[in-house]
Chains A and B, each alone.
Chain A
């Protein structure tokens, strides 16, 4: 039986265990719920857990270990001439054996007898493995059900046990989330370290030129790539700055209007409409930027005698700003609406006008939250890729002129990794180093934003 089927079986057994637990508990209590320590459901969950937990662990463990164990058994069974091959070739060989066993296409032309033997052996292993697994699974789950059933008695504290188990599951889930994050960070770190063995970290962080090609031949022109990240960081900052120049004032004004001036009806329609902006895929913004906004600015530039290239930081930044508006406005609106009505009335009661109240009471009270929302907007801007790819180009110009094409960290990561790449070239590894920089910047921004937002939260609770 294959894994999906086995999981199905496990689910069915668990459900069976649940009903068994309920009815068993009611029976031992003589049909009186109030004789039971916990509600009947909890006895059901109790048996269900005793069945599902070991079964699930078994299946997951088996899935994780099956391949490694079978591979080593397969290798042990191969003739010496094959098992002594270098690691890379050996893994190709193993692949072929498996493909042959599954009846798939095999990469080598000569299929010798040894290979066929190996394939047959592998097929046998596979069947044994699955049969063994099925048997153990049934034994474990049924054993679990039986043990748990034996324990059910009116004074069994089923609720307490189930709640403990539920807590354990939640702890495991959060551990998975944390570990994944850690894993990603570590892999970023290690790959970056490998990159820094090829390119000096100072050259990377302070280098002024970015041209990440690697040589095909030693004597090629520009054989050594230049990995100075400054133009990329500058481009990122330029575009983010333009974006925030659009998003911060517009978003903030929209938020002030919605939380302080708009009648409830208007707010009810405008707010969701604004939030739809946040749901538009960025690639759509991307062609809006590339096909509409950029040509518009170029035309405008011509009228004024300015040269604006058709891929410009300006177009990308402005469109990105539009994309970020709802993040700023929606969050700021929320924090401003969270300012207690009593503060507004307190201010009106002293004869303050609406605008005085907003300027002197609401905005200062909501300021930390507003700053937080703007910083979150900035980290969106820094991380945004698609709009920049489409509208700002790939040229790593070091310039502060918004009319020229620039590129950003994220865009370069994409171009470095797209296409067939050697995995250990400086070019590929540079992507990890860029990722690390980006991660650090957004992490710091997020930490600042969250600290500010939290500080704000304490104020009224």
Chain B
């Protein structure tokens, strides 16, 4: 690692740029000087990033550069790791999510998450999707719950495939179906933001295409942050792209600009496949 080299890069904090000032209300998540430590080891250095509502923001970068770490700090999933410590400020709609008064359970209901490996609960398909609405007491009646489950499965493009076998175990679905089930499960809670950590890395190309299509549709109702290893995927699904390297946020811009005309040499190197 050569931190001195990294530190010399001016961090173009989007909060000061004219674009975001004019649409300040559209900024959903705002990260300021975020540092994350695993024990003694620092995994993220002073990350500043604005994530706008109803956009897909993709986080790219070589393995181990801290993409997942950053993503998981957005819904405080890092709290579940004993040795992990987060410094700096992250706010959701202007409210500091690391504030003492914030109930992490509420936060996670607002900022949902989809993981790298599909992780359906060993329950029926219906119960998987109904899990969130049930624990949050979102419904008063069974028919209401059935409605929520159906809507969520429809939004995840899975309804037609599973409507006849809602009582069968979710673990019996194919990998791609399982991942869409997990997306439906997240959607059922009606979050505002959905975080996705390499959601397609365990899937075949056809299942991947379906999920990408789905992400594009979900953008209408949700703010989406997606970590991806595939630059094609980032180019296809996202409007904004942020490039991480060795724990630093190197560059962040409109996806089109990032892939055609990146400012930083390291971004260029990564995108053209010189390292990664």
Contact = CB atoms under 8 A, between A and B. Distances in A.
A179 B105 CA distance: 58
30 contacts: A264-B82, A342-B115, A342-B117, A343-B119, A344-B80, A346-B182, A347-B121, A348-B77, A349-B75, A349-B77, A349-B112, A349-B113, A349-B115, A349-B186, A350-B108, A350-B185, A351-B106, A351-B107, A351-B108, A351-B109, A351-B112, A351-B132, A351-B135, A352-B105, A352-B131, A353-B105, A356-B135, A361-B121, A364-B122, A459-B122
Interface string A74-90: 00000000000000000
A340 B115 CA distance: 13
Nearest to A352: B135
Contacts of A345: 77, 80, 113, 115, 119
Nearest to A361: B121
A455 to B, nearest CB: 12
Contacts of B131: 347, 350, 352, 360
Given A349-B115, A350-B108, A351-B109, A343 B135 contact: no
A365 interface: yes
Interface string B121-160: 1110000000110011000000000000000000000000
Residue from A343, A346, A349, A356 with most neighbouring chain B CB atoms (10 Å): A349
A349 B82 CA distance: 17
Nearest to B123: A364
B225 interface: no
Given A342-B115, A459-B171, A351 B136 contact: yes
A459 B114 CA distance: 21
Interface string A316-352: 0000000000000000000000001011111111111
A340 B121 CA distance: 10
B119 A350 contact: no
Contacts of A353: 105, 135
B49 interface: no
A115 to B, nearest CB: 78
B227 interface: no
A346 B115 contact: yes
A263 interface: yes
Contacts of B82: 263-264
Nearest to B108: A351
A385 to B, nearest CB: 39
Contact of A346 (B107, B121, B189): B121
A348 B135 CA distance: 11
A244 B108 CA distance: 39
Interface string A357-375: 0001100110000000000
A351 B122 contact: no
Nearest to B189: A350
B194 to A, nearest CB: 10
A349 B121 contact: no
Given A348-B77, A348-B80, A349-B77, A360 B108 contact: no
B100 to A, nearest CB: 17
A360 to B, nearest CB: 7
Interface in B45-76: 75
Interface string B90-115: 00000000000000011111101111
Contacts of A351: 105-110, 112, 132, 135-136, 189
Contacts of A361: 121
B123 A350 contact: no
A388 to B, nearest CB: 39
Nearest to B107: A351
B122 A360 contact: no
Contacts of A347: 121, 131
A68 to B, nearest CB: 60
Contact of B121 (A263, A264, A343): A343
A347 B121 CA distance: 8
Nearest to A366: B122
Contacts of A264: 82
Contacts of B185: 346, 350
B119 A340 contact: yes
Given A349-B115, A351-B132, 8 more contacts: A264-B82, A342-B117, A343-B119, A345-B113, A345-B119, A350-B109, A350-B135, A361-B121
Contacts of A349: 75, 77, 108, 112-115, 186
A342 B72 CA distance: 13
B77 A350 contact: no
B34 to A, nearest CB: 19
Contacts of B121: 343, 346-347, 361, 364-365
Contacts of B182: 346
A431 to B, nearest CB: 46
Interface string A196-236: 00000000000000000000000000000000000000000
Contacts of A360: 131, 135
A459 B119 CA distance: 12
Interface string B178-207: 000010011001000000000000000000
A353 B80 CA distance: 11
Interface in B192-226: none
Contacts of B135: 350-353, 356, 360
Contact of A350 (B80, B112, B117, B122): B112
A347 B131 CA distance: 8
A345 B186 CA distance: 12
Contacts of A365: 121-122
A412 to B, nearest CB: 44
Contacts of A356: 135
7 interchain residue pairs of minimum CB distance? A351-B109, A349-B113, A342-B119, A350-B132, A351-B108, A346-B119, A365-B122
Residue from B110, B119, B120, B136 with most neighbouring chain A CB atoms (10 Å): B119
Nearest to A342: B119
Contacts of A342: 115, 117, 119
A352 B107 CA distance: 10
A423 B107 CA distance: 75
A364 B123 CA distance: 9
Contacts of A459: 122, 171
B176 to A, nearest CB: 17
Contacts of A344: 80
A347 B185 CA distance: 10
Nearest to A357: B135
A357 to B, nearest CB: 9
Nearest to A343: B119
